[in-house]
Amino acid sequence: MQLAQTDLRSLTVFRAVVEHQSFLGAQIALGLSQSAVSFHIKALEERLGFTLCRRGRSGFELTDRGAMLHERSKTLFLALNAFESEIGTLKNRITGTLRLGLVDNTITDRDMPIHKVIARIADKAPEARVELTIDTPDALLTEIANGGLDIAILPETQPYQGLQLSRLREEAHSLYCGKGHPLFAVAEEALSVVRIEAFDFVVRPYANMRELQHFPKARARATASNMEAQAMFVMSGRYLGYLPDHFAEERVQQGIFRPLMAGTTAIRSTFVIATRAAEKPSTIIDFFIRELAGFASEALHGQKRHSAAGGRIERKTR
């Protein structure tokens, strides 16, 4: 079978259907109508001569051949992206697509200004494209491994075969309570580990209970899949939870959150850059990493200058 441009477009739609486990998810992700998604899947099935998926009351399901095609398509699209990048190199231009993954609520982190890197790519590499995905650390690692993402920035995790994890920076977290919690109005000097442990905590499962390292007898009565969900539990005034200081800062200023024993119970979360170990980084990935490192270095030097001048360095973490 000789691939045409229309086949690649239909394959793109098929991959979106599989990744979102529904035609509706692909419609939203690609900005297509239901009929357009159905047309591409039908056209691809007719070209290939076999059924790719079934959908009905039981939900969406890939056929065995459909699953095999999806796996083979990962290699195809990775090769196409690499080819596009190499052609750009020959022309002394940065081209290709950067598929970037981030965890939620990094937008308030002044030490990791992804928006500035995106702006630099748009200015210096206008032929390149950036696709941004926000998801949980486990989901991002899975997408890196299966070819759905090129690079991800996430909290440090256990080593995975086939993935390269490079240390990027640390993010500081403090324990917070919300307005209405019994500890909200308690004087700082009256707080203690024992007193705080008497209240319910909310934790993130992917943090592997590291959030409770200073409170070994604490009760984790609620779990949250991401930072915003955890903040909602804290805001309820019924749970204590660790949050990045940069994320909680505005709510502290508004009198909604209050840090508890931050001087002695703060924790730090190491962030890493995850890529596929076996692949040579494309020019767009190299450019992204260099620009990100440059901004991180600027932020670090700025903090040192502030400290030398007698200013207070704010902790910025996850």
Q: What is the DSSP string of 39-72?
A: HHHHHHHHHHTS--EEEETTEEEE-HHHHHHHHH
* Percent of the residues in the chain that have a pLDDT greater than 70, as a whole number: 88
More confident residue, 211 or 279: 211
Question: For domain 5-72, is the CATH number 1.10.10.10?
Answer: yes
DSSP state of 100: E
pLDDT at 74: 78
The dihedral formed by the CA atoms of 98, 285, 6 and 14, expressed in degrees to the nearest 10: -60
* Rg over CA atoms, the chain: 23
Neighbours of 111 (CB within 10 A): 22
* Reported confidence tier of residue 316, pLDDT bands at 50, 70, 90: very low
- For residue 60, the one-letter residue type is F
Between 271 and 296, residue with greater pLDDT = 271
Stated length of the chain: 318
What pLDDT was estimated at residue 300? 56
Mean pLDDT of 69-91: 73
Per-residue pLDDT averaged across 114-126, rounded? 92
pLDDT of residue 313: 30
How far from chain centre, in Å, is Cα 241? 20
Sign of CA pseudo-dihedral 292, 297, 298, 300: positive
In this prediction, residue 118 carries a pLDDT of 94
Neighbouring residues of 228: CB distance < 8 A, sequence distance ≥ 6: 104, 105
Q: Is the pLDDT of residue 308 over 50?
A: no
Q: How far apart are CA 250 and CA 223, in angstroms?
A: 23
Max mean pLDDT range (115-129, 243-257, 270-284): 243-257
Mean pLDDT taken over the chain: 85
- Token code pair at residue 277: 């170990």
- Which residues make beta-bridge pairs with 165? 274
Residue 175 has pLDDT above 90, yes or no: yes
Domain boundaries, the chain: 5-72, 74-169+270-308, 171-268
Residue pair 164/276 in contact by the 8 Å Cβ criterion:
yes
DSSP summary character for residue 215: -
Question: Which residue has 């207070």 as its token pair?
Answer: 312
Pairing of strands 97-102, 151-155: parallel
For the chain, where are the alpha helices, taking DSSP H only? 5-20, 23-30, 34-48, 64-90, 114-124, 137-146, 193-197, 227-235, 245-253, 262-265, 283-308
CATH superfamily ID and name for 74-169+270-308: Periplasmic binding protein-like II (3.40.190.10)
**Highest mean pLDDT of the ranges 203-217, 247-261, 300-314:** 247-261
CATH architecture for the domain at 171-268? 3-Layer(aba) Sandwich (3.40)
Domains 74-169+270-308 and 171-268 share a fold: yes
Nearest to 220 by CA among 207, 318, 174, 228: 207
CB-CB contact of 280 with 179 (8 Å): no
Judge whether residue 115 has pLDDT over 70.
yes
Top pLDDT among 310 and 255 is at 255
pLDDT at residue 61 in the model: 85
